[in-house]
Structure 1
Amino acid sequence: MQRFYQLADSAPVLMWQNDATGMVFLNEEYVRFCGCARDALLGMGWTGLLHPDSGDYLRAYEQAWASQSRFDAEVRMRRHDGQYRWLHSVGLPHFQDGAFAGYIGCSFDITDTRSAADRLRRQQEWFTDVANTIPTIIWVSDAAGATTFVSRQWYQATGQSDDQGLGWGWLDATHPDDRHRAQEAFRRAQEDRAGFRFECRLRAADGSYRWVIDAGEPRFTPDGEFRGHAGTIFDITDRKLAEGLREVALRELRAAALRKDEFIAALAHELRNPLSPIATGGEILKRTSGDTQQVLKVGEVIGRQVAHMRRLLDELLDVARITREKMDLQRVRIDLVQLVQQVVADHRLAAAQGGIRFDADLPGQPLLVDADAVRIAQGLSNYMHNAAKFARSHAVVRLRSDGAMAIVEVEDDGPGLPPDLLAKLFQPFEQGRQDLARSMGGLGLGLAITKGIVELHGGRVGASSRAEGAGAQFFFELPLAT
């Protein structure tokens, strides 16, 4: 052992040997570290320099001694300047004549290393606290691309567990339609050691999907070694919804502008049509001298065309009044049964001339409503004009009550209505079935006018079609008088 002691005294670390009585050897570095006489440290004297909170160290020593196994622990010991330093002690079992005789070991001053580790730990704790406080998701990945940290907001947003959120768990939370694109964007950023930014949908804890922006920047050591990425995830669902609504509004505005352009073209055409026969009639009248029959025929033509123009202008004025809520209603209590009978009778002859039979299915008892009889008749007439234009041979008007509302229905056996037209059928200037109506005369404003009249009375309108080619059903409801 003498040779060991000589070598130990020249070692730059604290070296020692003990037995059941305590320390039996301490090298020169150990004595210099403590600043005490060697004899004061031998035996159990050295324990007087341990920090008061060294219970764990002493228990670890006792357990190792009892099991005669390797001893490895850290402890704080007071140095000669009064400062406590962290020592990492390692002791190897020493046997003499086959019997356990104690330990031969060494202790390393690890204070600086431990302080750096403590600083790093405190920095990590500070970063975690800040990341968990910021109202957005913070994440960090390593050089291989695996997520090594993600803030609390991720788990709250996605409902993933701690294990699921690390590694490549973010891909599991990404919408299947966005997953490949997001993975490719991240892979390219890894390969290029560059920043990235992409939009995708993440599955929320409630199972819905939220739009987010995932943006990251590369991390490097002071030596330029790539360490991975760090980034944030922002929820942009509200912005996406606003953009979608704005896009829908823009499409609707463009469609409305197109409908108005088409309507103006149709209006110009409709208003010009009567002018030609009126002008021709005027020329004939100039040249006619005493031919009474000729004058009467020309007068009838002019009268019809003027009446047609008046109807067109009346429709335009009605739409304007309804749009500006300027239509005056002369409300009185009326019997809808009598009104419907009269309107059907007024239209039967003209419809029959076009090969269309109009039937009426009316109740035997009066149905009283407080309404403007002229306007309600106008609304029903628009339905019947519409049915007469599209019916193949037959149309029927029905009147019934559900106890609170009177319901007027007009059904034809015409081509029916395509599903995409039903929702916008009553809009002015709308394309669809009204295009054919325009080709038959008129501006196609009748349904919009009926809707406006009925709604001013507190009612509602609607239309349905069992299938294309199976006819169409139009109705309006009015509150019954109380």
Structure 2
Amino acid sequence: MDRDAMAEPGRGADPPAGPSRMEERLRATFEHAAVGMAHADEAGRYLAVNPALARLTGYSVDELMSKSFVDITHPDDLDADLFQSRRLLAGEITSYSLEKRYIRKDGRVVWVNLSVSQACEASTGQRFLIGVVEDIDDKKNAEREREKLVDALITAEEALREADRRKDQFIAMLAHELRNPLAPVRNAVEVLLRSGAMEPRLERARGVIDRQVTHMARLIDDLLDVSRIARGKLELRKERCDLGVIARQTAEDHRAGLEGAGLRLLVAESEHPLWVDGDPVRLAQMITNLLQNAGRFTNQGGFVELYAELDLPHRQAVVSVCDTGVGIEPSLLPRLFDPFSQADQGLARTKGGLGLGLALTKGLAELHGGEVTAESEGKDCGATFTLRIPLREARAAAAAPESCVAVAGEVRLRILVVEDNRDSAESLVDLLVLAGHEVRLAENGVEALGAAWAFRPEVVISDLGLPGELDGFAIARALRAEPTFAGIALIALSGYADEEARHRSREAGFDTHLAKPPDIAKLEQALSNCGSK
């Protein structure tokens, strides 16, 4: 039997004539693809293009076959395309993609995403390029529109900033110009006062002029101060002062005016000093604004109360001014501290003011690192304004060590101090013991780890630079690696306070990084955070 007779059924000795089914599918894919496809020789001349590419470029298939990709590529994009194709043909890359522009037959420019690879004809060994072209013109147009919108928004924002700057400059200039004529008016009032007795009508007129000049001067001062704050030009003259004393003195200064308006003023002083770093004049100005606001909006027979107190957990001095007045509508609360927010009171303007006092108070409070807030249950329910100023940190504990005991004494902690400098160690231990904590001391890393197992501290305060093989970083890593100490709080205490040192301490496992000498208020806060876990 010959070899042909031995062939398996259905398998002839010779391949079937005509294109295979795979070739037919590839041809159909090429012809009916939704994206443009093309084959090109090494010079870029088209060997085959599909109808989708013809539609995209506006040419017929036959017209494209007489061109190369160079002919329809936008001149500004040609170098990038040629560079990548040369790399591809040189074997440096196996494919490339880029966004480029084609110039259609009608002259319109269209954006495409081109992906190119290369293949080789099996029969001839001839290399050719395969390109897949996706129409991204709509996408690029949308991006351009977004860019235009962003540019327009940036331009509008810059215009608003410029308008705001010009407004502030104008207000400052206006306030200065208004102040000039007030000086001679005030001088004239003083001349009248010293000229001897006047008949009652003239005396009343002099009093009216004096009060109104004072009122106008205060409005101009507020206007100037708000403008200075907005432009970042207002400077504070800070010093160590007792906010409680300032609050009491300011209240007493306004007692006569409030009681003369038929109001009762109650003052509750703090039992402890309220030491802050602040500008005494500006602190008094804020309290004055709050008292005047309360007096303006409280009817005869009502109460105005001032409370000064120490908020130790938040390290703040607090002054609250409460009244039994007309209250605040809920809709007004969010914009109560905006400049001119009282401008919608109606044409009568029975309560007066430009709405600058509260805006000024807010700005001054923020310059002090604090805040002012308002609360009211609504119409005829009165209002409470609360001013919060941070306590003086650096000397608070030294000036009044009992405050440290009060803060930390609320939560007794077991604390291990790791410090090789004897004076630093003993003074820190003394301070912590006075605060009511149970403290152990270790002078090096090995001693610290031993003490940790024996003492089981809740907090470790460790220097970073220690003698021996185990420094503070090693101690932290060792403790963090032990499940027994999973809940322990680690505080780094170091003479290095730069960002690199803080980063290293965080990586080692420290929760907090404090610089030497430690800020007592920050140490107290860190311990308070440990105790609240």
Give the TM-score band, short-chain normalised: 0.3 to 0.5
TM-score by length of 1: 0.45
Q: Which has the higher strand share?
A: 1
The structure with more radius of gyration: 1
